[in-house]
Amino acid sequence: MTRKSALVVGGNGIVGKNLTQYLCETNEWEVFVTSRSGLHYETSAHFIPLALSAANVEEQMGDTLNGITHVFFAAYTERQDPYEQSEANGRLMKNLVLAIQKKATNLQRVLFIQGGKAYGAHLGYYKTPAYESDPRTITPNFYYDQEDFLREESRGRKWSWTSIRPDIVIGVTIGNPMNLANLIAVYANLCKEEGIPMRFPGSQQAYQALVNVTGVKVLAKAMDWAANAGQAVDEIFNVTNGDVFRWSQLWPRFGEYFGVEVAEPQRFSLQEYMPGKKQLWAQMTVKYGLKPYELDRLVQWGFGDFIFNVESDAFQDVNKARRAGFHEMNGDSLGVFLETFRQLKAEKIIP
């Protein structure tokens, strides 16, 4: 069987890193992975330094582009202004695709990551369960811009596109701003070190709302499936672990795992108070022989403030992907969290 050639764009992110590792393990792909800076993990994939914000993507990548059959796009750049964010991330996609389609004569599919923001999750309440056919919001959104560009650019060409929409991706990586597993694990260990209960830091209402998350393994499997499935041509699929839960159900189990008491929720701002624990974390790094990552490289506390204060149900319907033939969303979010915590311990990122 001829091996397919994958280009994973955004290789240091939580999606890109874990997808790269998964595709390499299948032994069905020749994998190329890009990032602006060097990778912070070891891989058998071919690494290519790439600045997507520059227009000379074709020049940066040279002949590497020629044999690519599939693009897995998980790159992202942060901007505070939503219009600037939309323009900047749209440009990343355009720079890559306009370059690659010139040289990759066997290009078959471009897969890209969207997420809950496609439904307005970042704005507060949105209709649940969220369906792929739900209408857009009027607010600027780079997901919409990237999707519209791919729809137009692929028209009449040999390649197609697929969008995958996970929700709160759970996995191991470093330096990713939206990494909830790192945040929970670090928070729990700081509480344990100080001998105080690990309280849910959001509202009581958020503690009881229905939530879903997406483990990196099921997400990688979904992208691998979508890269080859005829049913995925020019389609959008929600992908989660397949179950829903309340934080009130998982939080005590987190406490059991880390060996820390769990008390009643008490709402406070992680962003305001937790940066002051930098020195304590530095001391813990030495005490427990951890990798020397500073606290703000492991955790973005503001992301926790947002997630833990969503007071209405927030989850996606995943039956479209199931009907199309993807049957891996079997539902064990607690298990996904605990396995991720075990990996963080094994890699000496947490005690």
DSSP bridge pairs for 7:
32, 71
Q: Confidence band (pLDDT; 50, 70, 90) for 294?
A: very high
- Both tokens of residue 134? 């739900």
Q: Confidence band (pLDDT; 50, 70, 90) for 2?
A: low
- Percent of the residues in the chain that have a pLDDT greater than 70, as a whole number: 99
Question: DSSP character for 105?
Answer: T
Report whether 255 contacts 262 (CB < 8 A). Answer: yes
Per-residue pLDDT, 61? 87
Q: pLDDT tens for residues 115-157?
A: 999 999 999 899 999 999 999 999 999 999 999 999 999 999 9
Which of 143-162 are b and which e, b meaning 16 or more Cβ less than 10 Å from the residue's Cβ?
bbbbbebbeebbeeeebbbb
Hey, do 4-165 and 169-213+244-346 end up sharing a CATH topology, with the first three levels equal? yes
Find where tokens 């890209």 sit.
112
Of 328, 323, 280, 271, which Cα lies nearest the Cα of 301? 271
Fold classification of 169-213+244-346 is Rossmann fold (3.40.50)
Residue 1 has pLDDT above 80, yes or no: no
Question: DSSP character for 179?
Answer: -
Give the residue extent of every domain in the chain.
4-165, 169-213+244-346
Of 244, 222, 180, which Cα lies nearest the Cα of 72? 222
Of 347, 122, 71, which Cα lies nearest the Cα of 226? 71
Q: Confidence band (pLDDT; 50, 70, 90) for 297?
A: very high
Of 50, 56, 66, 46, which Cα lies nearest the Cα of 10? 50
Distance of CA 203 to the CA centre of its chain: 25
| 286 class by beta-carbon count within 10 Å (0-12 exposed, 13-18 middle, 19+ buried) | exposed
Integer Cα distance of 115 and 74 in angstroms: 11
Per-residue pLDDT, 65? 85
Report whether 91 contacts 53 (CB < 8 A). Answer: yes
Instruction: State the average pLDDT for the chain.
Output: 96
Integer Cα distance of 161 and 327 in angstroms: 21
The CATH number assigned to the domain with range 4-165 reads 3.40.50.720
